[in-house]
Amino acid sequence: MLTTSVSRRGALGVLGLGSAAFLAACSSSNSNGNGGDSGTSASSTSTRSDYSGEAKIDKFDTSAGTYEPATRETPAKNVPKPIKPENMNENSVAGLYSSIAFIGAALQYALQTGDMSLINESAMSDEDKETTLSSSLFTAIQNEKNWLADPKLVMNFVDAQPKEENGTYTWPVNVSMSQGEYAVHDGEAVDLPEDRRKYTQKINFTAKYDNNKWSVGGFYETGGSDSSASHDTQDS
């Protein structure tokens, strides 16, 4: 049986907190309302001096058809599928940026569809992949009877450039996850409390370039006050 006890460590602690809110909703009463909208942004990843701000990728596969947001009756349909940036494996700051941006896009896709295959294909370190793929939130969403109203995971780079020391790059990022107004569990929609709809954490991604690709870790590292979870009750 899934537990509502979650860790507050690291960037993806937002997933653990989201899982807690989702699981708490499982025991709540049914409610009615309208589904929220969802969309995907695109931005150039060409070389530049300032990479601060939201991490974005350029291309998505929309061949599945017209995107349909989730409602209280049905999960989202035809969610655009992120396409790996061409420069993702470059040994450059642009390549590292694209690697992290694709991780964010892969997590977003998994939150909407339950499909975690892109996480496996991302530059996330093997250790952090193992932890992420075992998230109770993703496991629940894989069941088509469970979904979130309007999940959005956003990564914002704090600094214009990463810092490098002895081949290891460090890049602070603010990670936010919003879930929407309700969650659906076993086909029943339940409202989420306002203080459990959005979470933000700041962590330091660490990355190394090896075997012609990036490996990005630090998702679950303890980071003191900077990586402690905070609740944001504003609407996304």
User: Stretch 53-58: mean pLDDT, rounded?
Assistant: 96
Cα distances (angstroms) measured from residue 186 to each of 23, 63, 83, 140, 145:
11, 29, 31, 10, 5
Could you tell me the pLDDT band of residue 196, with boundaries at 50, 70 and 90? confident
The model's pLDDT over 64-93, given as tens digits with 9 standing for 90+, comes to: 999 999 999 999 999 999 999 999 999 999
Higher pLDDT, 117 or 2: 117
Between CA 10 and CA 145, with CA 79 as vertex, the angle to 5 degrees is 80
- 138 — pLDDT class (breaks 50, 70, 90): confident
How many Cα atoms are found within 13 Å in the side-chain-facing hemisphere of 174?
Answer: 12
Kindly write down the DSSP assignment for every residue of 60-98, as one continuous string. Answer: EE-TT-S-B---SSS--BSPPEE---TTTTSSSHHHHHH
Q: Of 13 and 48, which is predicted with more confidence?
A: 48
Residue whose pair of structure tokens reads 């602690």 in the numeric block: 13
The helix/strand/coil state of 111 is: helix
pLDDT at position 9: 42
Instruction: Give the whole-angstrom CA distance, residue 49 versus residue 161.
Output: 7
What residues contact 36, with CB distance under 8 A and at least 6 apart?
69, 70, 149, 150, 180, 181
The pLDDT of residue 157 is 97
Statement: residue 165 has pLDDT above 70: yes
Residue 63 confidence (pLDDT) above 80: yes
The reported pLDDT for the residue numbered 110 is: 94
Q: Mean pLDDT over residues 11-39, rounded? A: 47
Tokens of 139: 């496991």
Residue 3: per-residue pLDDT: 28
The structure tokens 């969403």 sit at 141
The whole-number average pLDDT for the span 15-33 is 50
- Write the DSSP symbol of residue 194: G
Domain residue ranges of the chain, discontinuous segments joined by +: 13-218
Highest mean pLDDT among 11-20, 38-47, 89-98: 89-98
How far is the C-alpha of 14 from the C-alpha of 136, rounded, in Å?
12
Nearest CA to 166 among 216, 205, 209? 209
For residue 139, name the pLDDT band (cuts at 50, 70, 90).
confident
